[in-house]
Amino acid sequence: MAKECDVVEIGVLVYPGAQLAAVLGLTDLFAVASRLRHDLGALERPILRVTHWSEGESGQLAVSYDSHPGSSHAPRVMIIPPSLTQAPAPELLDRYCQDLRQWHGSGVLLVSVCVGVFFIAASGLLDGRAATTHWNFAQSLAERFPKIKVEANLPLLDDGDIITSACLMAWTDLGLKLIERHLGETLAAETARFLAVERITENQRPGSVFTPRLDHGDEAVLKVQHWLQSSGARDVNLAAMAECAGLESRTFLRRFRNATGLKPTEYCQQVRVGRACRMLEFTNRSIDQIAWGVGYQDPGAFRKVFFKVTGVAPSDYRRQMASSAG
């Protein structure tokens, strides 16, 4: 159980042209959740510390707002909000690439809303991966960053260590998703009810509910996690993962399980099933094609793993998602 002193710092990147309604709205959203945490007596849950990061006089990023001032900063989440203007210019994107890479490399969850994805894309962290954005900017994102697989039909794409969303106002649901992740389902539901916000529940979301642990502090394991997320955990084995971590196999196994709570094989299964869930919901590919697409040569083995992770067969999952969408 979390202690009263546990703190989760959620940063918001306030860049020139950022939508202030999203910046301030997210700040208010987390403030409401924090007050409800206190009012409901859920003090065993972490404290949400909200910080705004913007360029100072020196040109370096600095904290311009802190809901709990007085200590050093170590954000676990960094949100890149949307903009009311066009897609950000290259010279603006370049100013934040190094900071985003450093945050991601230290285990910070990167979250973008609408055109905020362009900032993550410019850092190279989405190369070879899928991402979503507002339909009006999908073509521009694909043209400017051809190494990214743009999924314009997805409202939200949770890829473990990076979350991208399509809608301009998706910051409300993303904020509630983060509250659920750190404070629990009850406080997320109470926050949505207090603000009269319609909430998208997990069984309506695309993808898997897998939430990898990224804030464990083991840099060698984190490097492997980022590699697995970016590759879809395809064509990997223990030896390759240990080599990526720079560790002997037995040492890697022990440290990976201690850091993530899962065996490497279980972690890979979660990543692959998450990709399969998106394909089942948003494509017409056959289950066999999806199995091959996420790295299973034997569709029968894929079906067994899928049922083990989700509790339903792939065909049933597709029907359930089609029914909830209708």
pLDDT score recorded for residue 203: 45
pLDDT score recorded for residue 204: 46
In the chain, the number of structural domains is 2
Are residues 140 and 253 located together in one domain of the fold?
Answer: no
Q: What is the CATH number of the domain that holds 92?
A: 3.40.50.880
Are residues 238 and 188 located together in one domain of the fold?
Answer: no
Contact 48, 29 (CB under 8 A): no
Q: What is the CATH number of the domain that holds 299?
A: 1.10.10.60
In a domain, 262, yes or no: yes
State percent of the chain over pLDDT 90.
71
Contact 221, 256 (CB under 8 A): yes
Q: What is the mean pLDDT of residues 273-283?
A: 88
Are residues 225 and 198 located together in one domain of the fold?
Answer: no
Least confident piece of the model among 28-37, 55-64, 206-215, 286-295: 206-215
Are residues 229 and 320 located together in one domain of the fold?
Answer: yes
**Mind listing the pLDDT tens digit for each residue in 45-102?**
999 999 999 998 778 899 999 999 988 999 999 999 999 888 899 999 999 999 999 9
**Mind listing the pLDDT tens digit for each residue in 143-198?**
999 999 998 878 888 888 999 998 877 889 899 989 998 998 899 999 999 998 87
Are residues 187 and 285 located together in one domain of the fold?
Answer: no
Are residues 156 and 258 located together in one domain of the fold?
Answer: no
Are residues 239 and 105 located together in one domain of the fold?
Answer: no
State percent of the chain over pLDDT 70.
94
Are residues 166 and 270 located together in one domain of the fold?
Answer: no
Are residues 180 and 248 located together in one domain of the fold?
Answer: no
Length of the chain: 326
Q: Which residues contact 312 (CB under 8 A, 6 or more apart)?
A: 306, 320
Rounded Cα distance, 258 and 249, in Å: 14
Q: What is the chain's Cα-based Rg?
A: 20
Q: Which residues contact 62 (CB under 8 A, 6 or more apart)?
A: 53, 54, 55, 56
In a domain, 213, yes or no: no
Distance of CA 84 to the CA centre of its chain: 23
Are residues 282 and 143 located together in one domain of the fold?
Answer: no
**Mind listing the pLDDT tens digit for each residue in 222-242?**
999 999 999 999 889 999 999
Are residues 199 and 295 located together in one domain of the fold?
Answer: no
Are residues 196 and 279 located together in one domain of the fold?
Answer: no
Contact 155, 167 (CB under 8 A): yes
Q: Is the dihedral of CA 25, 28, 32, 33 positive or negative?
A: positive
Q: What is the mean pLDDT of residues 281-291?
A: 91
* Higher local confidence (pLDDT), 27 or 85: 27
Q: What is the mean pLDDT of residues 2-23?
A: 86
Q: What is the DSSP letter of 237?
A: -
In a domain, 195, yes or no: yes
Residue 199, domain extent:
7-204
Contact 90, 28 (CB under 8 A): no
Please give the model's pTM, rounded to 2 decimal places: 0.85
Going by C-alpha positions, the residue among 180, 262, 170, 249 that lies closest to residue 214 is 262
